[in-house]
Chain A
Amino acid sequence: MENPTSTFALLEHARAGDPQALSAAFEKHRRRLAVLIHYKLSPQARHGAEVEDLVQETLLRGFRDIGRFHYQSPGSLLRWLSSIADHVIVDRLRYQGRDRRAGQQVPFRSASNPNGPEPTDSATPSRLFAQQEAVERLLARLDRLPEDYRQAILMTKIEGLSTAEMAQRTGRSREAAALLVYRAVKRFRAISDASEP
């Protein structure tokens, strides 16, 4: 039986004209996207408000351009959003200081448009941070990993690449990639165990 809240089903609903389904699909990926964007930024730029801002902008563009997205596999929406995030970050650097938002063209729900999608974050600027603590802890642990280990975990665990895809992206053999991921997780576990009270 098709799980009605799988990403695929939600996207199908979104295409059938249910804007809430798209909100739900994006909401599912929100935290992963935040973690990815966090590490796409330079260490100086990695503060909560900026990350949150970029997540928001990325999702807004996602809303606008959802027609161009083609579903391939369970991870493909996140990968697509991740590539949008790359553009958003580049644009942000290029137009620094100028406030240009794609979101203004998206017909969000409002008094004049009651059927539009719910703004991704209507309640608080950070529903993401309802479990902020858990994310913060995760970031703290990832920070303590060497760069290649961290990238391995980000690619496989956060972005959702398979080890073969990761091998391809990093120019390694699958065996090497598997070993890298294994060691990365092992180290991550050690850090976790060490930081556990």
Chain B
Amino acid sequence: MEDEQEQRLAERFADILDGQATAGLSAGDIREHYPDLAGELEALSDIDRAVDPEALPERLSGHRILSVIGRGGMGRVLLAEDEALRRRVAIKMLAPQYADRPALRTRFMAEARAMARLNHPNVVRIYSLGPASEPPHFVMEHLDGVPLTRAGAALTFEQRAEMVLKVVETVHFLHGKGVIHRDLKPQNVLVGPDLEPKLLDFGLILDLGDQKRLSRPGEIAGTPEYLSPEQAAGGEALDARSDVFSLGAVLYELLTGQPPFRAAAIADLLRIIREEDPVLPRRHVPEIPRALQNVCLKALEKDPARRYASAADMAGDLRRYLAGEAVYAEPAAYSRLIAGKVGEHLRELEGWRRDQIVSEAEYDGLRRRYDRLLERDDAWIMEARRLTLPQVTLYLGAWVLAVGAALLTFFRYPALAGSPAVLTAWAAALPAGWIGFDSWRRERHRVAVAWLLAFCLLAPIATLVTLEEFHLFTGLTMGQARLELFHRLHVAKQATNAQLWWSILAGIPVCWWIRRFTGASVFTLLSAVFGALLALATLVRMGMLDWLENDPGRIYFRLIPCAAIFMTAGLLLERRGRTDDSRYFYPFAVAFTWAALSGLAAFHEPYARWLKGVAPWTRGQLEYLFILNAGVYFLLDRACDRMGSGQVRMVGKSFRFVIPGHVMTSLLLLGVDAQTPAETKLLAWLLPAAACVFVFASIPRQMKNFFATGLLFFAIGVARLQHEVFHDRAVWPVLLLAAGLSLMAAAANYAALRVNLTRAVKALWR
């Protein structure tokens, strides 16, 4: 009887041992079902606990352990039940083999204390710390959710941005408490059915307040895919921007479905995180809004200084995206992307030039366009790669501001007479400047440049209003009202030339200083514009209005020094390596030169008289003067070529460019205007001849406009010859046809012809 019962118990025991009777039952359940075997089953658990490093305790802090729901480097997270409250909890347990390592225990306790301190709806809550008699653990809120990326897969980009925004705000909250998370990754953000993300796993937090590292220095802590470059490099002091990087990586994965950096081996991964830019999110998923891509790339910048300065800044941009506003982020990754590719192209281009696949001129042209592509890293709207509604509106606003302020300088308003006008002008100028500088400091460069440009325009205007209203510099030019510019404009307010001059002068140092402060080259352009205006204002103060009526040639004569000044300024700046500044001065030099030389030829009487004296047969005709100018341009071009620098060569090219037009138009007009038959005939032949010269002159400097203009004027010359020399003579068209045919035939057999000609010449020589 006893034997039978023992056999039955043994059978049941064997069944339990083999797992047949226990499927789906916990150890506690089994014991309840088989009270007769309780002691024996307890003994089995004893054996398991002794040999199985992963054996679970049955209870912790009075909670019944149900299963393992996660594990990390330091231990496991268990699902447990508070039987009294019938509530599920999560218990984080330090792995038993680490329980006696003081450093890890300290870190574990720090995690629990940090969680207790962080009372936030999006941070998982801690309930209690385990008693000293049990293995180290703490009890926390059990979250019924899925990792952020899994939750995000089915959502719109707006909803994903909203979720990330909550995470970013929560991280900012941590930073406010002096804590860096250091292990932000999608798996550490659980999202419940209400789409509320909750941050968990504070095992790697760095407490900035205590300046206490919870991991050994130099040790790499965190999940490798989401490490920041400074974490991957190890050793460097970390700050909040390290978390910003990880947030960027989380956003990247949420947008594209994959982490930004991947590699098979961890050493490769760390190197990639430190050195390589991530693939643009839109390359993975073209539907990703550009604004979100900007936010993501800005957070993922390698250099912490280029990232968002704080999680709050990142949250600001995400909020702007959600509100449909433009985000502030301007990732430097784009320029690096372009620069990298352009660098490759330039090396290739260099090779093509060496192998003479492209001509020097073509090489120069391409090179210049590539350089422009790289330089376009300016915050100014004209250098922006794309126009956007907010940006265009911003500039329109700045322009309205400037134009509105300009009205104050021209017209008198009874309600705004005297100091109120001055106050109004400065009330527009000073805040614009202040907002500009402030935005620049906050790295909102695009916005800042618009405000600063407005300030640069408003500053001289406000100065002028001040001078007008306070009656400063009221002296008339040479004491004559008729020499005053504003007096001629018949407007209510009549600023003197002196006031105008001083106001413009005041604008130049402002622009120049802002150029130094921001490094934005648009302010150089503005200084050059102010410089040109100042030059003209100086001429006005020298009595230009008088010359305009009596001797316009003098105006143009005095433009020559202006051109020289701008040229010199450009050269000096370029010599100092400031090519970004010099390139705005040369165009003014060229424009002044063109205006001066053309004006001299057209209006300057001494010039014409001199020519008449030197060469009476020209009768001082202005066409000859233009041909003379063409010669001057040629010399200038040669001089510029001597200088050797790229920008000056371009100046030379712009002089060279106008030569054929000057020469051939003059020849044509001279021919039409010729006074003797011989002169008519000579000029009629000279025009097509000159045209042919220019056609061939296109070769040495690769001037395509020489070629095109030459062809055009050749046709005109042929018509002139037909009219003046070969009137009604059939030989002329026949001759032309024969000449055309032979030229083409000769050109098509150029090589053979050349060989034969050389032989013939050599034979004759002997």
A120 on the B face (CB < 8 A) = no
- Contact (Cβ within 8 A) A189 B43: yes
A90 on the B face (CB < 8 A) = no
Q: Contacts A164-B18, A189-B43 given; indicate if A127 touches B10 (C-beta within 8 A).
A: no
User: How far apart are A190's CB and chain B's nearest CB, in angstroms?
Assistant: 9
The answer, among B44, B53, B71, for a CB contact under 8 Å with A185, is B44
B54 on the A face (CB < 8 A) = yes
Q: Contacts A114-B267, A137-B50 given; indicate if A189 touches B40 (C-beta within 8 A).
A: yes
Q: Contacts A130-B100, A181-B14 given; indicate if A135 touches B40 (C-beta within 8 A).
A: no
- Contact (Cβ within 8 A) A32 B51: yes
- Contact (Cβ within 8 A) A127 B40: no
The answer, among A27, A158, A162, for a CB contact under 8 Å with B18, is A162
A127 to B98, CA, bound (A): 10
The answer, among B11, B47, B48, B71, for a CB contact under 8 Å with A178, is B11
User: How far apart are B590's CB and chain A's nearest CB, in angstroms?
Assistant: 62
Q: Annotate A101-137 by CB proximity to B: 1 below 8 A, 0 otherwise.
A: 0000000000000110000000000010011001101
Residues of A within 8 A of B50 (CB): 31, 131, 134-135, 137-138
Q: Contacts A131-B53, A179-B7 given; indicate if A138 touches B265 (C-beta within 8 A).
A: no
Within 8 A of A (CB), among B412-456: none
A183 to B3, CA, bound (A): 12
B39 on the A face (CB < 8 A) = yes
User: How far apart are A36's CB and chain B's nearest CB, in angstroms?
Assistant: 10
Q: Annotate B24-55 by CB proximity to A: 1 below 8 A, 0 otherwise.
A: 00000000000000011011101111111110
- Contact (Cβ within 8 A) B46 A192: yes
Q: Contacts A175-B11, A192-B46 given; indicate if A28 touches B53 (C-beta within 8 A).
A: yes
A158 to B48, CA, bound (A): 8
- Contact (Cβ within 8 A) B46 A30: no
B480 on the A face (CB < 8 A) = no
B17 on the A face (CB < 8 A) = yes
- Contact (Cβ within 8 A) B43 A185: yes
Residues of B within 8 A of A189 (CB): 39-40, 42-43
The answer, among A114, A156, A182, for a CB contact under 8 Å with B10, is A182
Closest chain A residue to B11, Cβ basis:
A178
A153 to B48, CA, bound (A): 12
Closest chain B residue to A179, Cβ basis:
B10
- Contact (Cβ within 8 A) A182 B53: no
Closest chain A residue to B42, Cβ basis:
A189
Q: Contacts A135-B50, A192-B46 given; indicate if A185 touches B265 (C-beta within 8 A).
A: no
A131 to B43, CA, bound (A): 18
Residues of B within 8 A of A183 (CB): 10
User: How far apart are A164's CB and chain B's nearest CB, in angstroms?
Assistant: 7
Residues of B within 8 A of A193 (CB): 39
The answer, among A127, A156, A179, A192, for a CB contact under 8 Å with B17, is A156
Q: Annotate A154-197 by CB proximity to B: 1 below 8 A, 0 otherwise.
A: 00111000111000000000110111011101101100110000
Closest chain A residue to B71, Cβ basis:
A5
A28 to B95, CA, bound (A): 13
- Contact (Cβ within 8 A) A130 B97: yes
Task: Report how many residues on chain B are interfacial, defined by Cβ distance under 8 Å.
Answer: 30
Closest chain A residue to B9, Cβ basis:
A182
Residues of B within 8 A of A175 (CB): 7, 10-11
- Contact (Cβ within 8 A) A181 B96: no
A5 to B11, CA, bound (A): 32
- Contact (Cβ within 8 A) A115 B265: yes
A130 to B68, CA, bound (A): 22
B6 on the A face (CB < 8 A) = yes
Q: Contacts A182-B10, A185-B44 given; indicate if A163 touches B51 (C-beta within 8 A).
A: no
User: How far apart are A141's CB and chain B's nearest CB, in angstroms?
Assistant: 9
A128 to B214, CA, bound (A): 26
Task: Report how many residues on chain A are interfacial, defined by Cβ distance under 8 Å.
Answer: 38
Residues of A within 8 A of B100 (CB): 130
Q: Contacts A30-B53, A175-B7, A179-B6 given; indicate if A130 touches B96 (C-beta within 8 A).
A: yes
Interface contact tally, CB-CB below 8 A: 88
Residues of A within 8 A of B267 (CB): 114
B502 on the A face (CB < 8 A) = no
User: How far apart are B38's CB and chain A's nearest CB, in angstroms?
Assistant: 10
A182 to B9, CA, bound (A): 8
B13 on the A face (CB < 8 A) = yes
The answer, among B6, B51, B52, B68, for a CB contact under 8 Å with A182, is B6
A35 on the B face (CB < 8 A) = yes
- Contact (Cβ within 8 A) B40 A186: yes
Q: Contacts A31-B50, A35-B51, A189-B42 given; indicate if A177 touches B96 (C-beta within 8 A).
A: no
Q: Annotate B540-571 by CB proximity to A: 1 below 8 A, 0 otherwise.
A: 00000000000000000000000000000000
Within 8 A of A (CB), among B209-236: none
- Contact (Cβ within 8 A) B43 A192: yes
- Contact (Cβ within 8 A) A131 B14: no
Residues of A within 8 A of B48 (CB): 157
User: How far apart are B216's CB and chain A's nearest CB, in angstroms?
Assistant: 14
- Contact (Cβ within 8 A) A127 B97: yes
A156 to B14, CA, bound (A): 9
Residues of B within 8 A of A32 (CB): 51-52
A182 to B6, CA, bound (A): 9
Closest chain B residue to A127, Cβ basis:
B97
Residues of A within 8 A of B7 (CB): 175, 178-179
Residues of A within 8 A of B6 (CB): 179, 182
Residues of B within 8 A of A192 (CB): 43, 46
Closest chain B residue to A162, Cβ basis:
B18
Residues of A within 8 A of B52 (CB): 28, 31-32
Residues of A within 8 A of B96 (CB): 130-131
Closest chain B residue to A178, Cβ basis:
B14
A27 to B52, CA, bound (A): 10
- Contact (Cβ within 8 A) A188 B43: yes
Closest chain B residue to A4, Cβ basis:
B71
- Contact (Cβ within 8 A) B53 A138: no
Residues of A within 8 A of B14 (CB): 163, 174, 177-178, 181-182
- Contact (Cβ within 8 A) B10 A138: no
- Contact (Cβ within 8 A) A157 B71: no
User: How far apart are B328's CB and chain A's nearest CB, in angstroms?
Assistant: 41
Q: Annotate B102-121 by CB proximity to A: 1 below 8 A, 0 otherwise.
A: 00000000000000000000
- Contact (Cβ within 8 A) A185 B40: yes
Q: Annotate B615-634 by CB proximity to A: 1 below 8 A, 0 otherwise.
A: 00000000000000000000
Q: List 12 A-B contacts (CB under 8 A).
A: A5-B71, A32-B52, A115-B265, A131-B97, A134-B49, A157-B17, A175-B10, A179-B10, A181-B10, A182-B10, A182-B14, A193-B39
Beyond the given A3-B68, A35-B51, A131-B97, please list 12 additional residue pairs across the A-B interface where CB-CB is below 8 A: A28-B54, A31-B52, A32-B51, A114-B265, A130-B100, A137-B50, A138-B50, A157-B17, A162-B18, A177-B14, A183-B10, A189-B39
